[in-house]
Structure 1
Amino acid sequence: MSTETQKPREFTGRHMLISIIAFFAVVIGVNATMATLARKSWTGLVVENTYVASQQFNEEARKGRAQAALGWTGKLTIASGDVRYSLVDSQGKPVPLHGVRMLFRHPAYEAEDEALTLAAASGDSPVNTREFAARHAPKDGVWIVEIDADAGLTSPFRDIRRIMIVKGALQ
């Protein structure tokens, strides 16, 4: 009869090194994955001072209700490197504008924000301008567009939209 006894396997320094490397590889892999997902999907709003923004909320809400009562609708078109904006009243008649400013805000990256001042579109008289335009081609992706249209009111008509640009055109 032969009795062979197997020698128990030892846990060596090499095994410990492999265990530590595997542990940190998993931790770093999970962190990298979560950071990538967060960067691609975060659409939060950035304000410089949340306390000040909260104090101004009621006044901004009042202005929004007053503007909504006008029944005006803005028309925004983006295609072929052209950005155009116009306003119509509740009966569908054009609202004369004196100036239009836009801010294209990227939802996650302030560095990509772009301000734009539109000029009267060709064919409109300077006194009674109905449409404003500018040459601008925003990058493809999601944008928040803040439009301030001067229609002769005490404060500009504000139109804020979340838009998607695909192949240089508004979707």
Structure 2
Amino acid sequence: MTASIRVARPVTGRFVLIALLTFFSVVIGANMLMMRFAITTLPGTEVDSAYSASLTYEREIIAARQQNERRWQVQVHIHRRPDGEAVLAIEARDRAGAPVAGVNFMARLERPVDRRADRAIDVSQADVGTFRGSASGVAVGQWDLVIEGDADGRHMFVSKNRVVLN
């Protein structure tokens, strides 16, 4: 009965060099691949210039206070049809409960994670204080519904709410 004995090969400098180069090539390759995916799927920044956004911040605070003083009651209903069309209904009333007149509403659906998927909603006045609109190609999921109301060139109303469309 003969037993075979395996002799271990010695670790040489060439083997260590090849092992290190292979290891770091895999790590660097994986990092480059992940970096490429991160850069190509990044939707961008929320604002183009933080400095210019900070300059308008004071005006936004004043506009929000004025909006609160108006005490408008704005009811919004949005739903998504199976064909991908989102249907929007807005009803705006003043503090006394009368329909708001002379205001043009604009609306858009913004994807929280990807600006490229944002959809404008065509809004038109159906009656005094009542507005209707729709947008096509709206995917299922979470959206930010942004509604703005202008009258005589002034921002009168701004609302941003997270909605889930099924």
TM range (shorter): 0.5 to 0.7
Tell me if structure 2 keeps the 8 A contact 1:100–1:132. yes
The residue number in structure 2 matching 1:25 is: 26
User: 1:99 maps to which residue?
Assistant: 104
Show the 5 A alignment for 1:54-133: 54-79=54-79, 80=81, 81=85, 82-90=87-95, 94-96=99-101, 98-121=103-126, 124=127, 129-133=128-132
Deviations for 1:63-118, whole angstroms, at most 9, x for unmatched residues? Answer: 10111122223222222231222223446554346421112222333322222330
Query: What is the root-mean-square deviation of aligned Cα atoms in Å?
Result: 3.7
In 1, Cα distance between the equivalents of 2:16 and 2:158?
65
Residue number in structure 2 paired with 1:47 = 47
Q: Specify the code of the residue in structure 1 equivalent to 2:130.
A: E
Which 5+ residue runs of structure 2 have no aligned equivalent?
none
Q: What does residue 163 of structure 1 align with?
A: 163
Q: Secondary structure at the match of 1:25?
A: helix
Shift of 1:142: 2.7
For residues 11-61 of structure 1, the C-alpha deviation after alignment (integer angstroms, 9 at most, x for no partner) is 364564344333343454467568878999x89861122211111111110
Counterpart code for 1:132: F
For 1:153 and 1:94, the matched residues in 2 are separated by 20
Q: Which amino acid aligns with 1:130?
A: G
Partner secondary structure for residue 139 of structure 2: coil
State the percentage of identical aligned residues.
19
How far apart, in 2, do the equivalents of 1:49 and 1:72 lie? 32
Structure with bigger strand share is: 2
Q: Which TM-score applies when normalising by structure 1?
A: 0.66
CA distance in 2, matches of 1:157, 1:23: 56
2: distance between equivalents of 1:85 and 1:38?
Answer: 38
The number of aligned residues is 156
